[in-house]
């Protein structure tokens, strides 16, 4: 069987696509990946060595087509038409049995081209609320796979399967016993993992720096692993040093399995990929959704975890105001959870209950069923 996976543009689309490609190649199917020309796609592909048969995985970059609003409608339509034609050319050359789009406007042209050629089509949506591309292109797909059950209602009578969201192979192996040693941090301290996505998040960095003075009573019992992003790394490191807090500050972590394995509590955004990883490792969390995410999907994602008892939700607007107020609000949430071992255990169990094992295998099976 031959399958095209359109998955480029962001890590939240790319990494699940790579995981599905791994599952398909392990079943001896041939895969063609359609990615964007962005650096994040190219770097991730260069670092990927987990395919069972790399010779059965082809890669082709296509233009991402983003919708910039009604003022750019003509330009958008022209770019979409060209991208769809490019994808149709790929389909003519590769002759896939099925095409799956993993979300984003990189995948929309691929699904449209496949539909035009009467090839079986599927889409996958990771978030609790689908993005613009999937809402639109979902009407042309034969089947929809979703990461969260809350998302199914947005696709009307379209066949929907809750598959979960695939994660990278390294994260599927569970906790690593020597994570503390590999990270160079102490055992015996409560470890708080602070992160804002692959590029960091200035609002989270700033709020955490403001919170540190309010966490003085925890100085001897805690340590932080803080993924700051490159621009804020010096400022974040200085904030921990000023307050005498033990912290390992990194601009980026390429081995997130180590960070999750060492963590007792996570403070971060609420992207679908992040939440899937938090659930896989069964970690309690304080979620600060990115307020400008399309369709406010991060807030909806966070509410799924909050309702399940797996997370505390703190909206970014609650962290605004005077410097002290920023720190006090977040510090209260952190201190409250650090003080309550039983609550953290309950939240961890709730997070684990939201994990869907083998999502990439479920999607691969779904593709096989539709390609027959």
Average pLDDT over residues 156-160: 93
Residues 6+ apart with CB under 8 A from 220: none
- Provide the token pair at 333: 């949430």
Are 144 and 48 a contacting pair, CB within 8 Å? no
CATH 3.40.50.2000 in the chain, residue ranges: 2-165+356-371, 172-353
Q: Is the pLDDT of residue 55 over 50?
A: no
| 2-6 and 98-101 strand pairing | parallel
- Provide the token pair at 332: 């209260």
Q: Give me the architecture of the 2-165+356-371 domain, per CATH.
A: 3-Layer(aba) Sandwich (3.40)
In b/e form, how buried is each residue of 7-44, taking b as 16+ CB within 10 angstroms?
bbbbbbbbbbbbbbbbbbbbeebbbbbbbbebebbeeb
Cα–Cα distance between 144 and 227 in angstroms, integer? 34
Question: How does pLDDT run across 299-324, given as a tens digit for each residue?
Answer: 999 999 999 999 999 999 888 765 55
Question: How does pLDDT run across 174-196, given as a tens digit for each residue?
Answer: 899 999 999 999 999 999 999 98
Give the CA-trace dihedral at 66, 72, 76, 79, to 10 degrees: -100
Q: Give the DSSP letter string of 348-365.
A: HHHHHHT--TTHHHHHHH
- Name the class of domain 172-353: alpha beta
Question: How does pLDDT run across 276-296, given as a tens digit for each residue?
Answer: 999 999 999 999 999 988 889
Q: Is the pLDDT of residue 60 over 80?
A: no
pTM: 0.89
């Amino acid at each position: 069987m031959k399958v095209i996976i359109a998955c480029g543009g962001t890590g939240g689309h790319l990494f699940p696509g790579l995981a599905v490609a791994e599952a398909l190649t392990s079943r001896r199917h041939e895969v063609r990946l359609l990615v964007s020309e962005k650096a994040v796609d190219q770097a991730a592909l260069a670092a990927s060595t987990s395919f069972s048969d790399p010779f059965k995985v082809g890669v082709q970059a296509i233009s991402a087509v983003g919708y910039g609003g009604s003022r750019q409608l003509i330009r958008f339509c022209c770019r979409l038409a060209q991208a769809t034609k490019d994808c149709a050319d790929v389909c003519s050359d590769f002759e896939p049995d099925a095409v799956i789009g993993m979300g984003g406007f990189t995948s929309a042209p691929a699904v449209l081209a496949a539909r035009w050629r009467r090839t079986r089509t599927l889409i996958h949506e990771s978030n609790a609320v689908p993005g613009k591309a999937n809402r639109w292109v979902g009407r042309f797909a034969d089947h929809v796979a979703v990461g969260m059950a809350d998302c199914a209602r947005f696709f009307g009578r379209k066949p929907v399967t809750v598959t979960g969201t695939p994660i990278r192979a390294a994260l599927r192996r569970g906790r690593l016993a020597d994570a503390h040693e590999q990270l160079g941090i102490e055992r015996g301290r409560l470890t708080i993992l602070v992160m804002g996505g692959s590029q960091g998040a200035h609002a989270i960095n700033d709020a955490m720096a403001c919170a540190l003075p309010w966490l003085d009573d925890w100085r001897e019992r805690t340590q932080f692993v803080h993924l700051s992003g490159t621009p804020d790394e010096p400022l974040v490191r200085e904030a921990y040093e000023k307050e005498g807090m033990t912290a390992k500050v990194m601009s980026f972590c390429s081995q997130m399995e180590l960070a999750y394995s060492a963590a007792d509590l996570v403070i971060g955004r609420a992207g679908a990929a992040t939440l899937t990883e938090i659930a896989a490792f069964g970690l309690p969390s304080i979620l600060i959704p990115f307020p400008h995410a399309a369709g406010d999907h991060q807030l909806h994602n966070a509410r799924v975890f909050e309702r399940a008892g797996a997370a505390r939700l703190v909206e970014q607007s609650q962290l605004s105001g005077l410097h002290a107020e920023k720190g006090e609000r977040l510090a209260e949430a952190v201190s409250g959870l650090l003080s309550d071992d039983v609550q953290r255990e309950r939240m961890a169990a709730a997070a684990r209950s939201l994990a869907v094992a083998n999502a990439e295998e479920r999607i691969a099976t779904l593709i096989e069923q539709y390609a027959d």
